[in-house]
Structure 1
């Protein structure tokens, strides 16, 4: 008799499969079914298609990322905590992060992140009519940088090396007479990339601009 997998088991297996992937393998329901030792029909009992599955995976990941979160401390520290929880969760799942903008989540995990972000902005004293705007700014920034980081990680070592070499040629080969600033700083420039530290530094710059009253 064919085993019927629970939604929780399927999502756990999906996260494990995504974690093991190097970022450039296409995640599919067929691969997930094979990982579970079954066929795709077992998954379609819970998810109508890949998009619905991906939305559920995102929400599952966010629930795990929010484990232990407490609405305590200053608003800014809470926002940093929320944003870094998302960064750390997606950092382990580059393939999922690469598509983060397409799959915003569809359940309580996503609702919890949105709720706590809005609450932190409200507690900061941001005018009520500006809270949605600042929520969207923070989410757009975070998702964009998380996606860019994931895209970089999904390149093969050879592709990454070629990218660095191309950048070196472009910058170090600049004519000082035509590009004086580029020539001046070329030896200290590197291809765009984001570490956790640079991600946080960028977020802090945006938080500096939040129209907080407390």
Structure 2
């Protein structure tokens, strides 16, 4: 049975935790993000979280209905961090380009949490705020609603897909990550043109580019395509 969730004012502990602080949603999310960063998603549990907070594990359920509810809150927090310091400046193209890069960077700053949350929809306040900002930029630029929704869909899914892809590489063990990155020079660069003419011809360029994220270029391609459609009416 789902736990009863009470109002924020009624949730605070009457006594401090062992660390001398009062519990709050913000503190729990902050601690959970740290635990996921240090131990991975498998290391996050109510028991371990309670120990880290200096509180009983059951205290977590006064703020969240369950661990999945907390997972959604982690995703919402990553979006909140991306939005911090961002504001629309009136140029929809550059506004969305900056916002996309900020969301991608916020997820990569917490790669374990990114892998855990990039595919989820939280419905949290920050997620709603970023969706409102994206759609507002597009509609105010003159995109009809069906086109604004189409561009929004591609924009946000592309951003989160790249965040998950790039974060997944960052959480690999260092030997595996180094091996993957070295393949472009150790294997691709050694291919003979007699069997792989196109790979052989482009091997130096592949080695130069393929260990960097393609997201900035992909994001600009999407926005350029949207701009061309808008200009064409």
**TM-score, normalized by length of structure 2?**
0.79
Choose the corresponding residue for 2:144, options 109, 127, 145.
127
Shift of 1:94: 0.4
Shift of 1:9: 1.7
Aligned to 2:27: 9
Shift in CA distance, 25/167, structure 1 to aligned 2, threshold 3 Å: farther
Alignment of 1:1-214 (within 5 A): 3=17, 5-18=23-36, 20-21=37-38, 26-190=43-207, 192-195=210-213, 198-210=214-226, 211-213=229-231
Shift in CA distance, 39/166, structure 1 to aligned 2, threshold 3 Å: farther
Kept in 2, the 8 Å contact 1:22–1:154? The answer is no
Shift in CA distance, 193/99, structure 1 to aligned 2, threshold 3 Å: farther
Structure 1 range deviating more: 135-144 or 27-36: 27-36
Q: Say what the alpha-carbon RMSD is for the aligned residues.
A: 2.6
How many equivalent pairs are there?
211
Q: Which structure is richer in relative contact order (CA contacts within 8 A, separation 6 or more)? A: 1
Shift of 1:178: 2.1
SS at match of 2:84: coil
Structure 1 range deviating more: 107-116 or 127-136: 127-136
Cα deviation, 1:72-111, whole Å, max 9, x if unaligned, reads 2211121112212212211210011113333232211000
**TM-score, normalized by length of structure 1?**
0.85
Cα deviation, 1:41-96, whole Å, max 9, x if unaligned, reads 11122222221101112212322332333332211121112212212211210011
SS at match of 2:169: helix
Kept in 2, the 8 Å contact 1:58–1:103? The answer is yes
SS at match of 2:118: helix
Distance 1:50 1:112 in 2: 24
Shift in CA distance, 25/188, structure 1 to aligned 2, threshold 3 Å: farther
Runs ≥4 residues deviating over 6 A: none
Shift in CA distance, 14/24, structure 1 to aligned 2, threshold 3 Å: closer
Kept in 2, the 8 Å contact 1:100–1:143? The answer is no
Q: Give unmatched runs, 5+ long, in structure 1.
A: none
